[in-house]
Amino acid sequence: MTARADFPEVPLVNDLAGSASTLGYEIVDLAGFLDMIERQAQDQRAALAELSDSAQDIETANVAVDAAAADLVESVARTHADVGDSVGMMRDLGARSRDVAAWVQDLSDRSDTVRKTLAAVTANNTQIAAISMQVNTLAINAKIEAARAGDAGRGFAVVAEAITELSQKTKGAAAEISANIETLTQWIANLGTESTQVSEQAMDVIAHSTETDRALGRMEKSVNDTREEAARIAEHSVQVRRAITAFGPNMQGIEHSIKQTTDGIAEAHERIERMVDTSEQIVQSSAALGGTTDDAPFITDVCRRAMAVAEAFEDALARDLISEARLFDRSYVPVPGTKPQQVATSYNDVLDQILPPLQEPALDFDRRVVFCAAVDVNGYLPTHNTKFSRPQSDNEVWNTAHCRNRRIFDDRVGLKAGRSTAPFLLQVYRRDMGGGTFKMMKDLSAPIFVNGRHWGGLRLAYTF
């Protein structure tokens, strides 16, 4: 009993409230960390799903590659066989062409010999014709002398007549031989010309066939190399198929593991959120029991200021500056071209006049105060402090930090601040400053009732 007298209950409640506030800080910080991990886990799960789909696509594509590789090997084998046959045919053709060229060359040589022989025959035949003329002349003279001899030369005359007849036949035969030899000589000449042309063409064929043979040889080697590469492709394709076949179950195992982890993190996050609510209730209860903490002056100020806002709203209604329908307007029209998205309502112009004189002085209440702004039950913040109501730029990160008016903050803290009807609500949260930057804050809010109707709440945020 003495101990109770020495240590009154209020200091104990104060300690409890302080501890609850500190606990809330730690829990919210942990909740933010879990939230980040949860987002990363969700991203990993989505990436894994895409990877799994890609693996399935690869497996499908690999089946097509297997079929294509098999067809390629078969096609290259046929091509290789066809090229081999073509190479054999070209080599045989080259050999035959060389034989033809050699035969034509030999024919040309023989034609030259025949031409020479015909030339000799022609010369001899010319001599025979000349001799025949001489014999004919001698026979004529003999016939003349035989006629002069009378009966004594009659026998010689018969012989001379026979010689004359023989010389005439010899002459005729020589002329016919000359004509035949001339024809044969011309034929041999033509044959020689043609054989020369054929020989030249044959040499061209040999030259081209040799080059073609080289080209086909290179083609044969290339096709053979292609066949080996195709065989390696088929071999690697089989290895890829085996790897992908083993990859599938592993992917499923990883996906299952990540799912369990994600679910566990989500469950932990939910439990942390409940702990945050519990810590806030402890702070509320300790304040109700008369506990005093460093937050007490802020609680008093936000409650007083929220009542002032409510009175200003009621006065505006009384003076017909705004209707109740407009004041409680919950239709939000997006402002074009704003990032983050800003929205407007029918009461913005009136609240832009009413709220600044009540909100701006709160920034001078304590150096730790960051902002003071009213939000409706949906977390819509129509009129922010001047320093957070800058015109938007093209930089979304900058806008997130400096253009916070006309925005809906429907996160846990924003909604609870707008919907709480308790005398006050103290929350600890991580404020998103944009660009991945967060700042630990305390958010005190008090409800705003207008003629007994809950409009929203006034938020007073300050640092630790």
Q: Identify the pLDDT of residue 403.
A: 95
Q: Identify the pLDDT of residue 33.
A: 66
Q: What percent of the chain has pLDDT over 90?
A: 31
For 59-247, CATH number? 1.10.287.950
Confidence grade of residue 19 (pLDDT, cut at 50, 70, 90): low
Give long-range contacts, CB 8 A cutoff, 24+ apart: 86-93. 86/216, 87/213, 87/216, 87/217, 87/220, 90/209, 90/212, 90/213, 90/216, 91/213, 93/209
The gap between the terminal CA atoms of the chain, to the nearest Å, is 37
pLDDT digits (tens, 9 = 90+) for 87-98: 677 667 667 766
Residue 340 DSSP code? S
User: Element (H or E) spanning 428, and its range?
Assistant: strand 425-434
- 220: tokens are 């044969």
Alpha carbon distance 30, 276 (integer Å)? 10
Give this prediction's pTM.
Answer: 0.52
pLDDT digits (tens, 9 = 90+) for 218-261: 776 777 777 777 777 777 777 777 766 766 676 666 766 676 67
Strands (E) located in 268-398: 333-334, 343-344, 369-376, 380-381
Q: Identify the pLDDT of residue 436.
A: 66
CB atoms within 10 A of CB 419: 18
Q: Which residue has the higher pLDDT, 446 or 11?
A: 446
pLDDT digits (tens, 9 = 90+) for 135-166: 778 777 877 877 777 777 667 777 777 777 77
> Which residue from 115, 269, 285 is spatially nearest to 186, judged by alpha carbons?
115
Q: Which residue has the higher pLDDT, 427 or 277?
A: 427
- 51: tokens are 């990877």
Q: Are strands 380-381 and 407-408 parallel, antiparallel or unpaired?
A: antiparallel
Q: How many Cα atoms occupy the beta-carbon half-sphere of 145 within 13 Å?
A: 9
Of 143-157, 202-216, 316-330, 336-350, where does mean pLDDT reach its minimum?
A: 202-216
Fold match, 59-247 / 294-462: no
Of 244-253, 304-313, 317-326, 348-357, where does mean pLDDT reach its minimum?
A: 244-253
Q: Is the pLDDT of residue 118 over 90?
A: no
Residue 398 DSSP code? H
Q: Identify the pLDDT of residue 3.
A: 36
For 294-462, CATH number? 3.30.450.20
Q: Identify the pLDDT of residue 214.
A: 74
- Domain range annotation of the chain: 59-247, 294-462
Burial of 309 (0-12, 13-18, 19+ CB in 10 A): buried
Ranges 187-196, 233-242, 355-364, 439-448, most confident: 355-364
Confidence grade of residue 422 (pLDDT, cut at 50, 70, 90): very high
Query: Span 21-44, mean pLDDT?
Result: 68
Q: Identify the pLDDT of residue 4.
A: 37
Query: Span 355-381, mean pLDDT?
Result: 97
pLDDT digits (tens, 9 = 90+) for 104-113: 667 667 667 7
Give percent helix, percent strand, percent coil of the chain, each to the nearest 5.
75, 10, 15
Sequence-distant (≥ 6) Cβ neighbours of residue 397 within 8 angstroms: 434, 435
Q: Identify the pLDDT of residue 280.
A: 67
Q: What percent of the chain has pLDDT over 70?
A: 69
Alpha carbon distance 42, 120 (integer Å)? 111
Alpha carbon distance 28, 15 (integer Å)? 20
Q: What is the mean pLDDT of the chain?
A: 79
Of 30-34, 72-76, 188-192, where does mean pLDDT reach its minimum?
A: 30-34
pLDDT digits (tens, 9 = 90+) for 175-204: 777 777 778 777 777 776 776 777 677 677
Alpha carbon distance 327, 340 (integer Å)? 24
Confidence grade of residue 2 (pLDDT, cut at 50, 70, 90): very low
Alpha-carbon distance values, 368 to 28, 165, 371, 432, 461 (Å)? 19, 158, 9, 17, 9
Q: Is the pLDDT of residue 381 over 60?
A: yes
Give long-range contacts, CB 8 A cutoff, 24+ apart: 75-82. 76/223, 76/226, 76/227, 76/230, 77/227, 79/223, 80/220, 80/223, 80/224, 80/227
> Which residue from 116, 163, 124, 169 is spatially nearest to 140, judged by alpha carbons?
163
Alpha carbon distance 426, 276 (integer Å)? 11
